[in-house]
Copies of this chain bind each other. A is one copy, B any other.
Amino acid sequence: MAKRTATTANAILGLLALRDEWSSWELTQQLRRNMRFFWPRAESQIYGEVKALVGRGWARSRQTFVGRRARTSYTITPAGRGALTEWLATPPKPTALECEPLLRVFLADFATPRQLQVAIDQVRADADAILGVGRVVAAEYLAGTAPFQDQVHVRALVFDFLSSHALMLREWADRTEQATASWPRAAPRTRERAAKASIAATRARYPDLYM
């Protein structure tokens, strides 16, 4: 079987296809600003991946200098566009969520109330990080001054996704804070009844999905 192309490389390829020439730094910026929340990668990896693209003939690099310091800029090649097209024809991998705070909630019986609270706060912080970026990006697109203004139609869909995700996180954090506040003083029986009621309520709210 043909070796599957790593998806991070394809993400970079996609960026390269959007514009003529990118420096490594611009790539990391773009990744950080726009894609971090649904395609998170360490910035140091970008430098390596884009160099690998050149090795496969999918991009050309050009050296310029800033003072005495080298800067590399990259341009996609026709072969690179071909690789991008081929990848887009493959089925996408499933969505994956990794939530360590929720893992800690899962193990709340071994933690202190304070530690549980910290986990919930982290989820809220995660949401706020998304909303903070969304705020400035939304303003730019609405003002018509965003760097890729011609991509609004697509970016609006991403904005919708991330907004919904962040909102969901915030609302869950609020509900969970509420629900766990009384734990230290509640009898196990009471907690259990409340938990079952919560499950039943969620299920009843979406009968077509859950029954």
Contact = CB atoms under 8 A, between A and B. Distances in A.
Of A115, A126, A172, A195, most buried by chain B (CB within 10 Å of CB) is: A195
Nearest to A156: B195
Contacts of A37: 97
A51 to B, nearest CB: 21
A93 to B, nearest CB: 4
A119 B133 CA distance: 24
A103 B39 contact: yes
Nearest to A115: B88
A169 interface: yes
B167 A103 contact: no
Most B-side CB within 10 Å, residue of A93, A97, A107, A198: A97
Interface in A81-97: 84-85, 88-89, 91-97
A125 interface: yes
A38 B97 contact: yes
Nearest to A135: B210
25 contacts: A7-B103, A14-B110, A35-B103, A35-B106, A37-B97, A38-B102, A38-B103, A89-B115, A92-B101, A92-B104, A92-B118, A94-B125, A95-B101, A95-B102, A97-B165, A102-B158, A105-B161, A131-B209, A131-B210, A134-B210, A135-B209, A152-B199, A153-B183, A157-B195, A160-B172
